[in-house]
Chain A
Amino acid sequence: DAKTTQPTSMDCAEGRAANLPCNHSTISGNEYVYWYRQIHSQGPQYIIHGLKNNETNEMASLIITEDRKSSTLILPHATLRDTAVYYCIVMIYNQGGKLIFGQGTELSVKP
Chain B
Amino acid sequence: DTGVSQNPRHKITKRGQNVTFRCDPISEHNRLYWYRQTLGQGPEFLTYFQNEAQLEKSRLLSDRFSAERPKGSFSTLEIQRTEQGDSAMYLCASSRGHMDEQYFGPGTRLTVT
A residues sitting closer than 8 Å to B (CB atoms) are 32, 42-46, 49, 85, 87, 91, 93-104
Contacts and interface: CB of A to CB of B under 8 A. Distances in A.
Given A97-B31, A101-B42, A46 B91 contact: no
Q: Bin chain B's interface residue count.
A: 20 to 34
Interface in B74-101: 91, 93, 95, 97-101
Contacts, number: 58
Contacts of A93: 99
Interface of B: 4, 31, 33, 35, 41-45, 48, 55-56, 91, 93, 95, 97-107
B42 A87 contact: yes
A104 B107 CA distance: 19
A43 B45 contact: no
A43 B105 contact: yes
Nearest to B55: A96
B43 A96 contact: no
B48 A46 contact: no
